[in-house]
Every structure is written in C-alpha cells, then in structure tokens.
Amino acid sequence: MATAELASERESDYLSQLTMAAARYANRTERREKNQSVLETRGPLYADAPERVEKRLARLGADWALVRAIERTPTEPASSAGSTLRLPPETFTSDVLGLERLIGRNNLTPVAFLEKGVQVSRSVGRITISGPGGGHGTGFMVSPSLLLTNNHVLRGTEEASRSTVAFAFQDGSDGSPLLPAVFQLEPLRFFVSDRALDYSLVAVAPRGVQGETLSSFGRLVLSEAEGKVVVGEFVNIIQHPRGEPKQVALRENQIVDVLERFLHYESDTREGSSGSAVFNDQWEVVALHHSAVPKTDAEGRPLSVDGTVWRPEMGEQQLAWRANEGVRISRVLRALHEAPLTGEAARLRDEVFTTGLTPPPTESSPPMPSAHGESPRPGTDGSRAQAPEQTHVAFGTAQLTIPLRLTLGFDTASSAQAAPLASLPALTPVPKAAPQPPGRMGVVSAVEKDVDAALVNHRLTQERPYYVRTADIAARDAYYANVGTDDGDALRRTLTTLLTETHEPRPRYKPMRLVYPWVDLHKDGRLRSIYSGKDFSAEELIRADAAVAEARLAQVQELLLQESTAGPAEFEAEFDALEASLPFNCEHVVPQSWFAKEEPMRGDLHHLFACEAGCNSFRGNFPYFDFPDFEETVRDACGMRESTGFEPRDGKGAVARATLYFLLRYPGRVGDAAREFPEDRLPVLLRWHESEAVTEYELHRNAAIAEIQGNRNPLIDHPEWARGIDFAGVWP
C-alpha cells in the first residue's frame, strides 16, 4: 500500500475514534452534569453508584461495615441502612470523615506516592512506527514479554513488525537526558488486537538493540477487580505526548463519568499519548488511554481551536478538546480472557494474569470449599460445628491446605492489591555518569496494609460524636419492640433468637481493624486495658498487634516447612504454644479455646476488649472467679489468678455483661469441658453485673457494635433483666 494511502487510513481510523468518543460523551451529558453537581455539593462518596463506592472503599482498606455505620445518621436504625450511603452533608462531610485522603480529596500526599510513581513509570515506553504511515504512541509492559497499547497505534502485525519501543526516553533528575533502551516488537511471536476496545497486545524482544534486558524495566500488574476508581477521583497518566520524552499528568485529572466500557476524565494529554496507562493514586492501572473527546458542532463533527470544523490535515494540535476517554482495564482483560489462543500464545497471554499468590477470602466471599468440593458446614447455635477433614490455612497473602483440624488466619485487607514491582536497576544517563544505586520499592506486607486500613478506620471516627444518648435510646427501644414482658426461660429464648437473627454482618476477628479504631475507645479517644486499666493510644495497639502478626507469620512459615516431619497433633501443639507466646492485645472474655476459635464467636465484637498482652497471657483461659480475700491479697496488676479461676482488677461489670451476652447468643457452646465456664459460676457474673453500673463507655461500645454487626447486648440496654432471665438453658 502506498505511503499516502497508509497515512489516509490512519487518519480515518483516528477520526473514527474521535467521532465515537465525542458521541459517547454527548450521550452522557445529563448523567455527567448530575455527577458534577453531586461532587460539588456532597463529594465523591455520592456521585457514583453505592456498590461501586463500596468496592472502592473496600479496596482501599476501609472496612465497609464501619464506614456505613459512621455515615448513618444517629437516629437511623442499622437495619435500614442497606447498601445506600446516607451521610447528611450538613452534618458530616467526606472531609470531616477523612475519606478525602482515601479518594484523592486531599492534596497532602505521602512522599511514597512520588517514589512509587517513579517505579511504575519505568514500564512505560514510547512506541515508534517506522516507514509508511509512521508516528509515535505510548505503551506499557503488562507481563514479562507483552506490551499494551492502542489498536489505532498498532493496527496489525505488519505495522507492529516495523515498530520499536523505547524505555527511559526521558530526562534524569539533573535535567540531562537518559540513554533510551530500544527494543524491537515481535508480533509474529504474539499479537492480539481489538478495534472496538482499541487495544493491541504485542510481544517485545527480550534484548534491546544495545543488549539491554527487557526484564530490567519491570511490568505493571493488571487487575480485573472493580473498585479501583470512582467518579470524582483523580487519576495520573504517564505518557509520551507527540513522541516527546516521558511526562506525567499528575492528579488534577478528575474522573467525570464511568461507562460500561470507558472512563471519561479531564486531563492534560496530547497526541502521542494514545496507549498510555491511566493510574489511580495507588498506581494501579485503571484504564488504557485511547482518545481525546473533541468539541463538536451540531452535526457531531470535531471542531478546531478557531471554531471551524477540524480536518485531519490541520494536525491534532489544532483540535479543540473537551475531555479524554480511556478504556476500562477490566474490560480489556475480560476481552483478552476470551481471545481464542492456544499453545505458546495462550501461555504468553496467561502471564498477563499472573499477579502472585491468591488473597484470603473476605467477609463477603463465599466459604472456601473443602478438599471434597463442599463448603465447611457451620455449626448451629446449639451444637458444635464439625471441622472439615482438611483445613484452609491463610497467612499473609498465601493460602494452602494442610491435613489438620486447625484454622490459622492472618486477616488482610478486604481486597487484593496489585503485586509490587520487583527491584529494578537504575536507568542510564547520557552523557556517562557514575552508576546510580539500584532502585528499590518497599514490599508492603499484608500486615502493613492492615495497619494502614486500621489507621484509616481510626481517622474516620475522630470527628464523630462519641455517644448520642437520645439516638441510642430510640435505637434500643426499636430493637426490643417485640420482646414481651415474660421472664424466665421464655425471655431467654426470645433474646437468643433476636440476637442471632439480627447478628448481620458477622465480621471476622480483626481487632486492629474494628476494636481499636472505634469500638473500644473511651471518651478521651484512648484505649484502656479491660483488666488493668492501663491506657494506650489506638495507634499504639494497632502497631503492636501488627508486630505480633508479623512475628507469628514468620514462625508459622517455619512450622509449615517442618510439617512433613511433624504430624498434625505435633503441629497443632506447636501452634498453640506459638499463640500463647505471642498474644494480641485483645481479650476474648470467653476464651477462644472454649469454642475452638470458630466464627462468628471469634470475631463477635461484644466480647472483645483491648487488653495488653501481659494481662491477656496472665488470664489465659481461666474462668472468672470471686476470691474472698481479693482486696487484701497482693496480686498482679491485672488481677488474681489461681487454679480455681481469675478475678480481674478492673472491668468486672463490663466483662460480666459481655459474658452473659455470649451465653445468650451462643447457648450450649461453653461449659461442657474442664476449665470452661461452669453453671455454678453464674452468681459471680450476676454479682459483678449488679455491683458495677453500666458506664457511658459500655453504652458507646454497645451502640458502635450494633451499627457494625447489627445486634445489641441486652444486659447493657436493660440491666434489670439479668435476674429475670433463666440462664439454665445456656449450658449444654
């Protein structure tokens, strides 16, 4: 084909892309204007669909149950919240709650943001098409061998075969140009393209023309998961506009609309930017930039900057821009999944989807199947659950199955994060200079992500009223509206049914994510050990538990390596010893060993309290006991412990009410084994309950927990019911 014909065909393709983008943009005018109005008045939590916002917050590590509870109006019952955000803008705004840091509403950004941006930029290169119809575009590595760009940049194998990609075509930190590393494209080895989604995926030679290794420029890990961006967030675009050295459009690029297959955003991109990666503030790829949205006349024709109808011969620099459009990366990946490939091509395609180890399931995920393909069978409230023959074990972000009746979990953030880039060697400056030290991106562990999420949760709560009595009384009265005046066994059964049916959702055991940031706070914003009264900041216990989790993880990995030489019984004994030696700063007032560490008991917030590790270990799994000479005896700062039981120095009323709640909520679960709470200890709990009145701290806890997991503690709401309830039926 003649040069003029090739150029004309390329111009026709480009004009077609512009026209379709402009039409999509015009068709969404009403939706986009509504989005903008909501953004200006209420913020990005409300501009997008609630389910998309939910996924976004979950991906950022904010526990949705907590966010939803915080944003509910104080008088709104938990059951009415559903999945709709109900934050009144005149009372609580996204700025007050701190969500501005999560979704780009705060320009104070950690320095690590820039460091990671430098790292991901290494995988972005300038594409040069030589010969007839040539030009420039942008592309980025998405696997060890494959480069992603637009279909209108590389339309076929013939064009790609005479194209190269140059990495490090940019200026160094001193302003001097770096030496680009140029690699030949190899479409005969792999080439997949889709005109409708405007993407092309092509193989790159493993060695550059000067012998450089392609692997030294890394890759961008792509994710099909939704929740990477919502309307109102700002994105970042690394690009080679007009074929110039690498540049970045940083943060002031707002998403204005989300379509089924495309994103619309306002940003600074120019010709040559086609094929650029569009990133969120966590430097995850959210879209493949493919077209500007031009201003058009009444007939839909693109306009030039002087208001006349634009013609290709005017050049792209004369187009009048309105916005930009990118193809959602999840849709590109979906199409790539469906591409009919076999053999080596299929293997190369599959490398795009290799992101590392599988993340653990979240609360919203279905149960993990057992080795026989069946979901683990939960126990009823009246009987103990049967453990599967093989138990799912999750630590960090790894999961495996071992032949044990033991569940071990290091819970991580509720969504998968993109795998970090490996350490990459320094780029080469021109002229020659002293070698730069290898760059190194810190590997953020799953535990560190939990810490970040916990601190986010704590930030979300800081401006919320600690306890609103009138609202809580209204919620309490509504909760028990159908509870009759009967007492004895009838009242017990009614309360057990109510507590069970309203216990939704059922959060897993994550004290650093829910207990420390909000539930267990005292009015001064600090935590106090339930047994000793010693106080801590929330961040102090969050970070302390994180250190314990990391230490456990390291030792568990060692145990798993030894599993082949140690049987299940030995493994379980070693793990129990490990847990005892490295306890979290969170106390289960009903010890975990009494209910085999099963959920939902393990994560039930009503019986979880902050407690320094020393007191946690000191109490162990001893049942509560009332020592006659307690006040006169020299005892540990946590309380007194003998073979008969444990009596705490502080918090007796609170732990008594929490234990009584547990007995009502889970009848038959404790008391049938040695050292578990026996029925003859019930008078101890009742005495402690009556001798220490319900405090505002407990009222706050009860209200906060009700907002998160739906049910309440009747002994806090109605202390007078304690003597009227026949607890006999709660023991096996």
How does pLDDT run across 111-128, given as a tens digit for each residue?
778 889 999 999 999 999
Q: What angle do CA 474, 475, 481 make, to 5 degrees?
A: 90
Task: Flag whether the pTM goes above 0.95.
Answer: no
- Beta-sheet strands, E only, within 387-540: 391-395, 398-402, 527-528, 535-536
Say which DSSP state 489 is in: H
Cα 427 to Cα 161: distance, rounded to the nearest angstrom: 26
Beta-bridged to residue 182, according to DSSP, are: 166
Which stretches of 586-626 are DSSP H helices?
613-619
Beta-bridged to residue 257, according to DSSP, are: 264
pLDDT on residue 634 = 45
φ/ψ of 618, rounded to 5, equals: -60, -45
Which stretches of 42-137 are DSSP H helices?
44-47, 50-59, 64-71, 94-97, 99-102, 112-121
| The token pair that represents 601 in the structure block | 């008991």
> Taking a C-beta distance cutoff of 8 angstroms, is the pair 264, 291 a contact?
no
**How confident is residue 374, by pLDDT bands cut at 50, 70 and 90?**
very low
Q: What are the percentages of helix, strand and coil residues in the chain, rounded to 5?
A: 35, 15, 45
> Taking a C-beta distance cutoff of 8 angstroms, is the pair 560, 402 a contact?
yes
Query: 519-533 b/e with 16+ CB inside 10 Å = b?
Result: bbbbeeeebbbbbbe
> Taking a C-beta distance cutoff of 8 angstroms, is the pair 66, 517 a contact?
yes
Q: Give mean pLDDT, residues 32-37.
A: 88
Tell how far CA 395 is from the center of its chain: 16
Lowest pLDDT segment from 372-376, 598-602, 662-666: 372-376
**How confident is residue 8, by pLDDT bands cut at 50, 70 and 90?**
low
| The token pair that represents 178 in the structure block | 């770096």
pLDDT on residue 77 = 43
Q: Give mean pLDDT, residues 601-630.
A: 92
Cα 725 to Cα 689: distance, rounded to the nearest angstrom: 14
- Beta-sheet strands, E only, within 485-533: 527-528
Cα 535 to Cα 340: distance, rounded to the nearest angstrom: 62
Q: How far is CA 523 from CA 349, 695, 731, in A?
A: 55, 11, 36
Position 358 pLDDT exceeds 60: no
360-368 contacts, C-beta under 8 A, 24 or more apart: 360/394, 360/397, 360/399, 360/409, 360/411, 360/412, 361/394, 362/58, 362/414, 362/415, 363/414, 363/505, 363/506, 363/507, 363/508, 364/414, 368/392, 368/399
pLDDT on residue 361 = 35
pLDDT on residue 301 = 85
pLDDT on residue 727 = 94
> Taking a C-beta distance cutoff of 8 angstroms, is the pair 231, 258 a contact?
yes
Position 275 pLDDT exceeds 80: yes
Cα 360 to Cα 411: distance, rounded to the nearest angstrom: 7
Query: 575-601 b/e with 16+ CB inside 10 Å = b?
Result: beebbeebbbbbbbbbbeebbbbbbbb
Lowest pLDDT segment from 5-9, 299-303, 310-314: 5-9
Cα 655 to Cα 591: distance, rounded to the nearest angstrom: 12
Q: How far is CA 86 from CA 67, 101, 422, 471, 502, in A?
A: 11, 20, 42, 16, 20
Beta-bridged to residue 231, according to DSSP, are: none
Position 482 pLDDT exceeds 90: yes
> Taking a C-beta distance cutoff of 8 angstroms, is the pair 429, 172 a contact?
yes
The number of beta carbons lying within 10 Å of the beta carbon of residue 484 is 9
Chain segment 636-654, per-residue pLDDT in tens: 789 999 988 999 999 999 9
Instruction: Work out the percent of the chain whose per-residue pLDDT is above 70.
Output: 74
Cα 86 to Cα 69: distance, rounded to the nearest angstrom: 10
| The token pair that represents 351 in the structure block | 């490398």
pLDDT on residue 360 = 32
Query: What residue has token string 């970040």?
Result: 452
